[in-house]
A and B are shown apart, each in its own frame.
Chain A
């Protein structure tokens, strides 16, 4: 597969770019933040996403979606990142749908129509501590009657308080660290015994700590197979990590473009600051890193879409590289803006905040570099 967008993908990119920059530019985020919006995103915009068809990108055509792949999902996410658009798209339409695609048809029949209509929102209840440790899932789901009873606590559930249902990873056998014994469940948000305590994050995202106090679910809430949740979890994580990497490329590119524009406007010492070689070289280094990060993400998307076994390592490469690079972009962005970059009035700080939140989402650059080392046997 050639590593550039084909005509259909370019057309999609044009329409997404136009739509997101018109309907949800950075001022949209600022408005939600200033209004202290409880969801932290716009439900109206979520419906517009549905009308544009974006919500069905990973849904098969048989199930009324667009039947596209991670590359197309990434096209949407890059624009979301560039505009810092708050949206449940990544958790619901990308990671969530990828998990449902790897799981049972009965669950897709139940949840996909609502996602396609821009009504249903999914939350991902995977984490149990402040750092991403999906191999150490300890929360228990014990057998109870025909189903299971869930007890424990999950953290960093993005949009957890706004979600209609949560995808929950819990242990049905073995102990933390075991490969087998994890099962994924769909749990409705209003289930008895489930409570979500939401906190506003640095980037104005809303993340919940979710407590499961004897939450009962039927056997048909299981996504995939009991004790064999690893396959579904892998699909969810690969989609989420690659998607987050694509969004970070957008965040980095947005910050870089804004900064390069500023270098062409701001005057000091009687000249534009972009004339100083000290800044030119740093901006050019950043450009180079951004190009490499974008290529790494595209490669991961293509390998995932091909079902290539090499996707696993490349997904971690993409998340690590995009993570380090977007981080460079926002740090350079604030520094090169000087004093104005420290003001709330100016947008560059929003980029720094979103980058920080995305870098923790499904593993930071160190987590993924470590994973690359493990996959390479050292």
Chain B
């Protein structure tokens, strides 16, 4: 038995012993997800015990080094853990923008002190982070951002406004792009970290077409940020931002894969009904679902290949843009098909039976997938320029 084989059997046994049955059920509502943070509460004992078991093992961030709260798993071991968790449909014990986005940027650009301090907090789920990137006048053209940090010796004073800040009203700290030099567009931005409880920070939720408010407007009115809360060099925050966007795009791209059950057609069969041959009663919808399932399984292979290549440093640096483009377009298609399969039942917006309109609200929410974190059109621009090297792109 190779080391990896024994790691797999150990992992399987550990999951069997530590992942409660309730944590292997599909996520139904927002509170089934544990985000951590200062004000976090567990929905159930099972959620708590699963989180604590993973924390003790370093499995909230399995591939981070042990000194920063991870389990120090190799890429091959990390893949096995993901496969084994997927096999029993285990939920993620802790979700956070700290894990997916800030963490990788800190591992790459942070000082040793920052790594020990912030990464440890993220791994333990103590601080919930939000991202301050977009501004009202700077969406796809992010680098034109205007929020300004004035140099006051040992600190900056930040003024300006961010928009589309995910869960800003529920988060403890923000990683934020702030202009520190008005003369240089690209080399005039710094990557700052600060507490959302700092005087001068206010948030205002934005109600979306889904009726929910996962995003906020965030205002900074003379917010003081100490100088040691910068990641990377002064005025070189764009490098950090681009690195982090790669991870964000990778994360968003995962949406198209759904909840792990491979076939959407199989899942909606009870709603649609079937004929004597056991085929869906609606032949045209069945054909759409079949081609969709082909695309999902193909994209799943691509996602696995992308992660393997990235970890072996064999992937093109612009490849996350391709993944983001394809994954988000796929997820939008998924929810169009969920709605079509549900028919008039899927129109219910407020009833108990519909889980307060989970289907239509999720369908509407997915329309943002190809806008947030860089629009599909921007992704195609990046592929044209950096991968295909087309002229003038």
Known A280-B390, A378-B274: A3·B305 in contact at CB below 8 Å: yes
Q: Is the CB of B322 within 8 A of A378?
A: no
Q: Closest residue of chain A to B294, judged by CB?
A: A320
The reply on A314 being an interface residue by CB < 8 A is yes
Chain A contacts of B314 at CB under 8 A? 4
Interface stretch, picked from B107-115, B133-141, B376-384, is: B376-384
> B322 touches which one: A271, A291, A299 (CB < 8 A)?
A291
Bound CA span A373–B294, Å = 9
Q: Is the CB of B312 within 8 A of A2?
A: yes
> A292 touches which one: B263, B290, B298, B393 (CB < 8 A)?
B298
Chain B contacts of A376 at CB under 8 A? 262-263, 265-266, 293
Interface string of A343-378 (1 = CB under 8 A from B): 000000000000000000000011011101110111
Q: Is the CB of B298 within 8 A of A317?
A: yes
Interface stretch, picked from B22-30, B209-217, B278-286, B347-355, is: B278-286
Separation in Å of the A325 CB from the closest CB of chain B? 9
Chain B contacts of A4 at CB under 8 A? 305, 308-309, 312, 314
> B280 touches which one: A272, A283, A378 (CB < 8 A)?
A378
Q: Closest residue of chain B to A2, judged by CB?
A: B308
Q: Is the CB of A3 within 8 A of B286?
A: no
The reply on A296 being an interface residue by CB < 8 A is yes
Chain B contacts of A274 at CB under 8 A? 390-393
Q: Is the CB of B287 within 8 A of A369?
A: yes
Q: Is the CB of A296 within 8 A of B289?
A: no
Tier of interface size on chain B: 35 or more
The reply on A264 being an interface residue by CB < 8 A is yes
The reply on B291 being an interface residue by CB < 8 A is yes
Residues in A140-155 with C-beta less than 8 Å from chain B: none
Q: Is the CB of A264 within 8 A of B390?
A: yes
Bound CA span A378–B297, Å = 16
Bound CA span A272–B390, Å = 9
Known A4-B312, A275-B390, A378-B269: A287·B263 in contact at CB below 8 Å: no
Q: Is the CB of A378 within 8 A of B279?
A: yes
The reply on A293 being an interface residue by CB < 8 A is yes
Q: Closest residue of chain B to A325, judged by CB?
A: B298
> A317 touches which one: B294, B308, B393 (CB < 8 A)?
B294
The reply on B387 being an interface residue by CB < 8 A is yes
Chain B contacts of A108 at CB under 8 A? none
Chain B contacts of A292 at CB under 8 A? 295, 298-299, 301-302, 326
Chain A contacts of B388 at CB under 8 A? 260, 280, 283-284, 287
The reply on B173 being an interface residue by CB < 8 A is no
Chain B contacts of A317 at CB under 8 A? 294, 297-298, 301
Bound CA span A12–B50, Å = 46
Known A4-B314, A264-B390, A281-B380: A291·B302 in contact at CB below 8 Å: yes
Bound CA span A292–B309, Å = 14
The reply on B233 being an interface residue by CB < 8 A is no
Bound CA span A317–B269, Å = 20
Q: Is the CB of A264 within 8 A of B391?
A: yes
Separation in Å of the A91 CB from the closest CB of chain B? 25
Q: Is the CB of B377 within 8 A of A281?
A: yes
Interface of A, secondary structure class, is helix
Separation in Å of the A200 CB from the closest CB of chain B? 32
Chain B contacts of A365 at CB under 8 A? 291, 294
Residues in B291-326 with C-beta less than 8 Å from chain A: 291, 293-295, 297-299, 301-302, 304-306, 308-309, 312, 314, 319, 322, 325-326
Chain B contacts of A289 at CB under 8 A? 326
Q: Is the CB of B387 within 8 A of A287?
A: yes
Residues in A250-307 with C-beta less than 8 Å from chain B: 260, 263-264, 271-272, 274-275, 277, 279-281, 283-285, 287-289, 291-293, 295-296, 298-299
> B301 touches which one: A288, A295, A368 (CB < 8 A)?
A295
The reply on B368 being an interface residue by CB < 8 A is no
> A263 touches which one: B294, B309, B326, B390 (CB < 8 A)?
B390
Q: Is the CB of B308 within 8 A of A296?
A: no
Bound CA span A279–B286, Å = 32
Chain A contacts of B262 at CB under 8 A? 376
Q: Is the CB of A275 within 8 A of B392?
A: yes
Q: Is the CB of A3 within 8 A of B274?
A: no
Separation in Å of the A135 CB from the closest CB of chain B? 13
The reply on A321 being an interface residue by CB < 8 A is yes
Q: Is the CB of B392 within 8 A of A295?
A: no
The reply on A176 being an interface residue by CB < 8 A is no
Chain A contacts of B389 at CB under 8 A? 264
Chain B contacts of A275 at CB under 8 A? 390-393
Q: Is the CB of A285 within 8 A of B380?
A: yes
Bound CA span A243–B272, Å = 36
* Residue among B279, B289, B301, B379 having the largest count of chain A Cβ atoms under 10 Å: B301
Separation in Å of the A291 CB from the closest CB of chain B? 6
Bound CA span A299–B269, Å = 27
Separation in Å of the B227 CB from the closest CB of chain A? 41
The reply on A313 being an interface residue by CB < 8 A is yes
Bound CA span A43–B391, Å = 43
Known A3-B308, A284-B380, A321-B295: A299·B301 in contact at CB below 8 Å: yes
Separation in Å of the B383 CB from the closest CB of chain A? 4
Separation in Å of the B219 CB from the closest CB of chain A? 35
Bound CA span A4–B314, Å = 9
Bound CA span A281–B266, Å = 33
The reply on B76 being an interface residue by CB < 8 A is yes
Interface string of B115-158 (1 = CB under 8 A from A): 00000000000000000000000000000000000000000000
* Residue among A370, A374, A376, A378 having the largest count of chain B Cβ atoms under 10 Å: A378
Bound CA span A4–B312, Å = 9
Q: Is the CB of B290 within 8 A of A370?
A: yes
Chain B contacts of A280 at CB under 8 A? 380-381, 384, 388, 390, 393
Chain A contacts of B294 at CB under 8 A? 316-317, 320-321, 324, 365, 368-369, 372
Q: Give the interface of B toward A (CB within 8 A).
A: 76, 262-263, 265-266, 269, 274, 278-280, 286-287, 289-291, 293-295, 297-299, 301-302, 304-306, 308-309, 312, 314, 319, 322, 325-326, 377, 379-381, 383-384, 387-393
The contact sample of 13 A-B pairs, CB cut-off 8 A, is A2-B312, A263-B391, A285-B325, A287-B383, A299-B305, A316-B294, A317-B294, A365-B294, A372-B263, A372-B297, A373-B265, A373-B293, A378-B274
| Further contacts, 6 of them, CB under 8 A, given A284-B383, A295-B306 | A275-B391, A287-B387, A295-B302, A313-B297, A314-B297, A373-B286
Q: Give the interface of A toward B (CB within 8 A).
A: 2-4, 260, 263-264, 271-272, 274-275, 277, 279-281, 283-285, 287-289, 291-293, 295-296, 298-299, 313-314, 316-318, 320-321, 324, 365-366, 368-370, 372-374, 376-378
